[in-house]
Amino acid sequence: MKIKKFRSKTVQEGKERILSELGPEAVILSTRVIPPIPPENEEVVELVVAIDTEDQDSSILQNNLQPNINERLTKSESLEFASNIYKELSYIKNFLLELSDKISFRFISNLPNELAELAKLMVKNGYSQDFALSFVQHFKVKKFDSFEELRNEAKSILAEKLNYVSEFPKKEGQNLILFVGPTGTGKTLNIIKLGLLYKILLNAKVAVISMDTRKIGGWEQTQMLSAISNIYCTFANSIEEMKEQISLLKNYDFILVDTSGGSPRDENFLAEIEQISSSINWTGIVLVLSATQDKINFSLNLNAFNKSKPNLLMLTKLDETISIGHIYEPLLKVSVEMPLLYVSTGIDIPNSIEPATASFLTNYMFNYFD
């Protein structure tokens, strides 16, 4: 490929010269207007042209592409030319990004700059546009020293809007707690964590009953984890067997019952869980859901397992997400009747579980800042 400059009075005149001398294969790389030097001269247009020389006749190259000494690009001019191309590409990229933002976030165009940035941040972290727009309206009458101050207050307010269980609703005597939820939420592991915490913090006698009849190796997993944590565990294949086991464990303060995980679209499975949940008077029924689910599947599980009448909610796998913005809206709605009890942040027993609080979940309201 060779590069050549053409100077003419107009762009059209320059194009005609290029077509005449180099043919239609020539590509115009750039154009610029050169001001009069000295002032009495007329301004001219400079066109920089490139042409592939591999398929050209050697005589055409000799006659048409050999620039004279005044037109040959110097090393400095080549660097300047490359730099100009880079600047133009950067400008186009930034323009397209700004245009994309304007299209994606057109709903915030009338907001003050800081509130617009907050709304954009919320949307990037999974909140819906309608919710973000409604939420930031509360800050219109407030003044903040920095965007960081605004962001931190927004995170605190969002976390405080959720409902939490300040203390586990245990009763005098024996507490029977049922755990339900879909596959893959870490339900069994977190039951063992809780059992160990009750032993350590409350000096309580704790037993686990596994009713996981669906997962291959489910009972074996419960046995292994219980043995590691020195917690008594047993297996029940039916509601009748579960009741028998409970009657044999009268001296235990907490009996934690683990159920099978399953699909929220499996009506037979949901019917089994509903039967278990209505079989006795439970101290609490805990729905265990993963924070890594998207909004649609999170809502689907909330609706499906609502048939088993859970009154407490546990969020797991918070260590695998940077924000709960994508599930915040269904979580806000359901926490009125199903307040948050515990959150799980990993697989470590028992350290990676703690009571759900606004101060803790503030850190998960939004963390995607790019």
CATH class, 175-364 region:
alpha beta
The CATH code belonging to domain 2-73 is: 3.30.70
**Predicted local confidence at residue 131, as pLDDT:** 94
pLDDT above 70 (res 109)? no
Q: pLDDT-derived band of residue 105, with 50, 70 and 90 as boundaries?
A: low
- Tell me the pairing of strands 2-8 and 44-51: antiparallel
Q: pLDDT-derived band of residue 70, with 50, 70 and 90 as boundaries?
A: very low
Domain limits of the chain?
A: 2-73, 105-161, 175-364
Helix axes 129-136, 147-161, angle to 10 degrees: 110
**Predicted local confidence at residue 279, as pLDDT:** 95
Model confidence pLDDT, tens digit, residues 282-318:
999 999 999 999 999 999 999 999 999 999 999 999 9
More confident site: 2 or 16:
16
pLDDT, average across residues 340-349 = 92
End-to-end distance of the chain based on CA atoms, in angstroms?
A: 41
**Predicted local confidence at residue 282, as pLDDT:** 95
Coil, helix or strand at residue 40: coil
**Predicted local confidence at residue 65, as pLDDT:** 44
pLDDT above 80 (res 102)? no
pLDDT above 70 (res 77)? no
pTM of the model: 0.71
- Ranges of beta strands (E only) in the chain are 2-8, 27-34, 44-51, 175-180, 206-211, 232-235, 254-259, 284-290, 312-316, 340-344, 353-355
**Predicted local confidence at residue 209, as pLDDT:** 96
pLDDT above 70 (res 106)? no
